[in-house]
Amino acid sequence: MKVHQVLATLGYGDAIGHEVVGIQQALRSAGYESDIFVETADSRLERLTRDYRELLDEDDPGRLLIHHFSIGSRGSRLAYALPGRMVLVYHNITPPEYFVDVNPLLVQLCYMGRRELRAYVPRCHLALGDSEFNRQELEELGFLHTGVLPVVPGFDHLDGERDWHVVRDFDDGWTNMLFVGRVIPNKRIEDVIRTFYAYRRLFNPRSRLLLAGSSSGFEQYFAMLQQFVARFAIRDVHFLGHVSDAELAACYDVADVFVCASEHEGFCVPLVEAFHAGVPVIAYSAAAVPATMDGAGILYENKEPGHVAALVDAVVSNRALHEAVVSAQEAALGRLLDKDFAATLLGYVEKVLASPAHPAHEVAPDFWRQFETAERLEELRQYRPAIYKALPEEGART
Residue 362 lies inside a defined structural domain of this protein: yes
* Same domain assignment for residues 316 and 171: yes
CA dihedral 198, 200, 202, 206 (to 10 degrees): 170
* Same domain assignment for residues 148 and 167: no
Question: Which of the four pLDDT bands, split at 50, 70 and 90, describes residue 152?
Answer: confident
In one-letter notation, the amino acid at residue 36 is I
CB-based contacts of 27, cutoff 8 Å, min separation 6: 3, 34, 345, 346, 349
* Same domain assignment for residues 271 and 196: yes
For 82-110, write each residue's pLDDT tens digit.
Answer: 888 999 999 888 999 999 888 888 888 78
Q: What is the DSSP letter of 388?
A: G
Residue 123 has pLDDT above 60, yes or no: yes
Residue 394 lies inside a defined structural domain of this protein: no
Residue 56 lies inside a defined structural domain of this protein: yes
More confident of the two residues 380 and 319 = 319
* Average pLDDT for 289-300: 96
Report whether 271 contacts 196 (CB < 8 A): no
Q: Which domain, by its residues, includes 183?
A: 159-337
More confident of the two residues 28 and 39 = 28
What strand order describes the sheet that includes 175-180?
237-241, 207-212, 175-180, 257-260, 281-284, 298-300
CB-based contacts of 10, cutoff 8 Å, min separation 6: 17, 20, 36, 38, 40, 41, 42, 45, 48, 49
Tell me, what's the pLDDT at 368?
62
How many Cα neighbours within 13 Å face the side chain of 263? Answer: 14
Q: How many domains does the chain have?
A: 2
Report the distance separating Cα 254 and Cα 248, nearest Å.
Answer: 10
For 31-73, write each residue's pLDDT tens digit.
Answer: 999 999 998 888 888 999 999 888 878 767 778 999 998 776 7
Residues forming beta bridges with residue 283, ordered by sequence position: 260, 299
Residue 397 lies inside a defined structural domain of this protein: no
Tell me, what's the pLDDT at 389?
63
* Average pLDDT for 128-133: 92
Tell me, what's the pLDDT at 346?
96
The CATH number given to whatever domain includes residue 236 is 3.40.50.2000
